[in-house]
Amino acid sequence: MNKKNSITYANISALSSTCLILGIFLLLSSCFNTAKEVDKSVAQKTVYPSDVIPFFNHFKLILGDGSNVGHPIDFESKDFFFAKNDGNQNWVVYVAPNAGNTHGTSNNIRTELAQAKKWSPMTEAKMTATCKVTNVSTTGDARVAASYSVVIGQIHSADGHENEPFKLFYKKFPGHKKGSVFWNYEINTAGDDNSGRWDYSYPIWGYDMSVIGSTPTDFPPEPEDGIELGEELTYEVVVKNGIMSLKFMSEGHETKTFTKNLIASEYATKADMPEQVKKVFVPIGQDGVERPNAYSEEGLFFKQGAYNQTNGKDPIVNMVWCAGAETHGGDFKKQYETGNYAEVWFKTASVEVPDDAISNEGYFAANDGLATKIVAPHEVIPFMDKFKMLMGDGTNVDDLTKFENKDFFYTIIDGTMRWVVYKTPNAGVTSKNSSNTRTELHEKREWTPEQGGKLTGTCKVMHVSTSGDARVAASYSTVVGQIHSGEGHENEPCKIFYKKFPGHKKGSVFWNYEINTAGDDNSGRWDYSYPVWGYDMSVVGSNPTDFPEEPKDGIELGETFSYEINVHKGIMYLTFSSEGHETKTFTKNLIQSEYTTKAAIPQQTQKLFVPIGQDGVERATAYAGELNYFKQGAYNQTNGKAPEKNIVWCAGAETYGGDIAKQYENGCYTEVWFKDATVGESSAPTQSKN
């Protein structure tokens, strides 16, 4: 036998053992690697919110960017909606910044579920949740009830005014360790106008909604029985046979229960209005009454998540709901980095709906994308076909149907309703005979005082120029309604002004009559000014920065008032009204003058106009037989012309060389909002002379 080719039994045994070991190693290696891949796959598997709380087939989800993502099953958004583990278990996290895109007519951003079906309050429905609030906005205005708060559960109406019979809030002031939990009932306002709606707030732990600061940075004491950020609470909402039953629980806190009738109102008359509402809502004009059967005829649905109540809107717009918080121009990342957001975590939640619940698709169809839709002014005030307009950049617009302009003439939602906005800078392009810019309607129809006409408006002035010269009567003012002559000297028998000095909270409303000057020379024309609330036009400062005392009975920026100009058979009848203020009425003969001689010039005129050489007399028939027309909007009376030219009308205000964007940025403009207005034939008067 050749030894070179021989293999002994021992060699074979050794080789077999080696192969066996190698095979086992390879097998184990393969199993280990497979296990690692499995572990890696498991580690990488996304846990969706629907894996944590499996009830999302009942809801659609609205995100902080305003989008409706539908049923959020196997869905997450890294910015707004995701699952997160706290070291012990998974939670569903809802995040909503102070600014993004809103849903429907709201001022506020939400990442919130909205039930896909609606149900009658006469049936039975239930929602429960265990959650914790982990952040509320760190900026806001302490005077604003909604600042620093988030709504974590709701019942919402799908019909009518779409009001909310249940809103559960968490609110914590900056610097406090503990916050308050309270719930609000919003009335289902009687009538077609929902602008008077209000909430009544019930404290659970800590304060109710009405506890606010006296200044933007003044916070009330920390609530002793409050709830901390990160502290769990449980709520249960049951509606059965028209009665809402509420239960609130949290470890270490007293369990609280409430009941509320949703089908029979306790607020059907003004006398039923609670003191809390008189304190919080009535001062901003929200003083409605509720329909006697409350929500009985409407479909309701549940909502749950993070509905951030802290927004960046100026408190002037609404001192209850507009928080004036930091928004970083809507940049989500910057808001999240600086604490300007609300965040709520849910551990468990459930919902039960009656068998006869029906689709809530109508609500979503009406509200999805509404805040970003362009709604033209004529859709809010439908008389625009009767007017043309000059805007603050000199643009003339003859057809206002379906027209809007983002810089001068557009609509806005204030959280209560939609308004038409008129905005114009201190300097732009003016009309041929004026020193002042305007974004103002000009009636197409012309009429004589004998033929007559009527103009009404309900408005609020949101801004007047913050620069000017206090000695100049026209400084810091805007005209919100006029009668203008279209013939002769083209003078103005009625101009309704709003004026507010810098640093004052309240401004004045007054109206001026401009004489229709006798003769061909109109340079001697002058105005006589009648105070409505606050001062007349003649109250000025003694130097450019010297302001008179604030008027006690004045009107604030953002405060709504109404006027009616009714010219009937040659006589002008004026009516001014505003909640909380005395209604004022005036009459003025437009076809027979009381200023036909120098001796008839009033003392006010001798003080204001005569020193600048405007000392004319009026033709005996005043405006008789002349064609007139109405004007309405924002006619800015604050311009950049030197006061030395005319100490009544040349305001010496900042204009930034006519740069409109810079004027808007620096408060050198006027802005007026109208929610209602009419124009048409005159009517027989009911007013008496003031």
Task: Considering only residues 291 and 44, tell me which one the structure prediction assigns the higher pLDDT.
Answer: 291
In a domain, 26, yes or no: no
Residues 431 and 337 in one domain: no
pLDDT at 245: 98
pLDDT at 445: 98
User: Is the model's pLDDT at 204 over the cut of 50?
Assistant: yes
What H or E segment, with its residue span, contains residue 347? strand 341-352
* Span 10-45, pLDDT tens digits: 343 443 444 444 444 444 455 445 544 444 444 568
User: Is the model's pLDDT at 4 over the cut of 60?
Assistant: no
pLDDT at 428: 87
| Residue 349 neighbours by CB under 8 Å, 6+ apart | 53, 55, 92, 127, 128, 129, 130, 131, 304
Last residue of one domain, picked from the residues 321, 337, 371: 371
User: Is the model's pLDDT at 338 over the cut of 70?
Assistant: yes
pLDDT confidence of 314, banded at 50, 70, 90?
Answer: very high
The single-letter code of the amino acid at 453 is: G
pTM metric for this prediction: 0.83
Per the CB < 8 A criterion, the answer to whether 481 and 470 are in contact is: no
CA 459 to chain centre: 15
pLDDT at 38: 45
Alpha carbon distances (Å) from 501 to 98, 545, 665: 31, 10, 19
Residues 555 and 493 in one domain: yes
pLDDT at 369: 86
Neighbours of 329 (CB within 10 A): 9
User: Is the model's pLDDT at 83 over the cut of 90?
Assistant: yes
Alpha carbon distances (Å) from 622 to 514, 517, 573, 605: 10, 8, 16, 17
What H or E segment, with its residue span, contains residue 361? helix 361-367
pLDDT confidence of 299, banded at 50, 70, 90?
Answer: very high
Residues 431 and 316 in one domain: no
User: Is the model's pLDDT at 6 over the cut of 50?
Assistant: no
pLDDT at 168: 98
Task: Considering only residues 41 and 66, tell me which one the structure prediction assigns the higher pLDDT.
Answer: 66
* Span 418-445, pLDDT tens digits: 999 999 999 988 866 677 999 999 999 9
* Span 242-278, pLDDT tens digits: 999 999 999 999 999 999 999 999 999 999 999 999 9
pLDDT at 30: 52
Number of helices (H) and strands (E), helices first, in the chain? Answer: 7, 33
Residues 141 and 263 in one domain: yes
In a domain, 649, yes or no: yes
Residue whose C-alpha is closest to residue 524's, from 596, 593, 614? 614
Per the CB < 8 A criterion, the answer to whether 290 and 276 are in contact is: no
In a domain, 437, yes or no: yes
Residues 478 and 349 in one domain: no
* Span 129-171, pLDDT tens digits: 999 999 999 999 999 999 999 999 999 999 999 999 999 999 9
Give the rounded percent of residues in the chain with a pLDDT score beyond 90: 88
pLDDT confidence of 231, banded at 50, 70, 90?
Answer: very high
* Span 394-403, pLDDT tens digits: 999 999 999 9
Give the helix ranges, DSSP H, for 517-571: none
In a domain, 25, yes or no: no
Q: What Rg value do the Cα atoms of the chain yield, rounded?
A: 33
pLDDT at 33: 53
The sheet with strand 561-568 has its strands ordered as: 409-413, 418-425, 669-680, 453-463, 561-568, 571-577, 584-589
Residues 414 and 331 in one domain: no
* Residue whose structure tokens are 């305001």: 651
539: CATH: 2.60.120.200
Total number of domains constituting the chain:
2
Q: Average of pLDDT values for 378-404?
A: 97
Last residue of one domain, picked from the residues 371, 403, 436: 371
Residues 261 and 316 in one domain: yes
User: Is the model's pLDDT at 230 over the cut of 70?
Assistant: yes
Q: Average of pLDDT values for 559-586?
A: 97
* Span 601-658, pLDDT tens digits: 999 999 999 999 999 999 999 999 999 999 999 999 999 999 999 999 999 999 999 9
Last residue of one domain, picked from the residues 352, 371, 390: 371
pLDDT at 336: 98
Residues 285 and 396 in one domain: no
Residues 358 and 415 in one domain: no
| Residue 611 neighbours by CB under 8 Å, 6+ apart | 647
160: left (phi over 0), alpha (psi -120 to 50) or beta: left
Buried b (16+ CB within 10 A) or exposed e, 76-94: bbebbbbbeeeeeebbbbb
DSSP codes of every residue in 145-201:
TTTTEEEEEEEEESSTT---SEEEEEE--TT-SEEEEEEEEE--BSSS--TT--EEE
In a domain, 511, yes or no: yes
Please give the Cα distance from 443 to 447 (Å, whole number): 10
Per the CB < 8 A criterion, the answer to whether 479 and 497 are in contact is: yes
Residues 290 and 381 in one domain: no
Residues 617 and 519 in one domain: yes
Please give the Cα distance from 199 to 593 (Å, whole number): 52
In a domain, 3, yes or no: no
User: Is the model's pLDDT at 688 over the cut of 80?
Assistant: no
In a domain, 31, yes or no: no
pLDDT confidence of 3, banded at 50, 70, 90?
Answer: very low
Residues 307 and 423 in one domain: no
What H or E segment, with its residue span, contains residue 574? strand 571-577
Please give the Cα distance from 369 to 55 (Å, whole number): 25
pLDDT confidence of 183, banded at 50, 70, 90?
Answer: very high
Residue whose C-alpha is closest to residue 93's, from 102, 82, 101? 82
Residue 513 three-state SS: strand
User: Is the model's pLDDT at 101 over the cut of 60?
Assistant: yes
Across the chain, mean pLDDT equals 93
pLDDT confidence of 690, banded at 50, 70, 90?
Answer: low
Buried b (16+ CB within 10 A) or exposed e, 437-467: bbbbbbbeebbbbebbbbbbbbbbbbbbbbb
Per the CB < 8 A criterion, the answer to whether 512 and 528 are in contact is: yes
DSSP codes of every residue in 454-506:
EEEEEEEEEE--S-S-TTSTTTTEEEEEEEEESSTT---SEEEEEE--TT-SE
Q: Residues 571, 577, 582, 585: what is their CA dihedral angle, to the nearest 10 degrees?
A: 0
- Residues pairing with 126 in the sheet: 238, 352
**264: its two tokens:** 């029979």
Per the CB < 8 A criterion, the answer to whether 105 and 66 are in contact is: no
The sheet with strand 243-249 has its strands ordered as: 81-85, 90-97, 341-352, 124-135, 233-240, 243-249, 256-261
Q: What is the DSSP letter of 378?
A: G
Please give the Cα distance from 626 to 488 (Å, whole number): 8
* Residue whose structure tokens are 């970083």: 328
Residue 517 three-state SS: strand
Residue whose C-alpha is closest to residue 533's, from 567, 514, 556, 516? 556
pLDDT at 413: 87
In a domain, 295, yes or no: yes
| Residue 22 neighbours by CB under 8 Å, 6+ apart | none
**62: its two tokens:** 């609205």
Residue 12 three-state SS: helix
Please give the Cα distance from 671 to 464 (Å, whole number): 7
Q: Which domain holds residue 256?
A: 49-371
Least confident of 134-138, 373-377, 486-490, 502-506: 373-377
Per the CB < 8 A criterion, the answer to whether 582 and 576 are in contact is: no
CA atoms in the 13 A half-sphere facing the CB of 1: 5
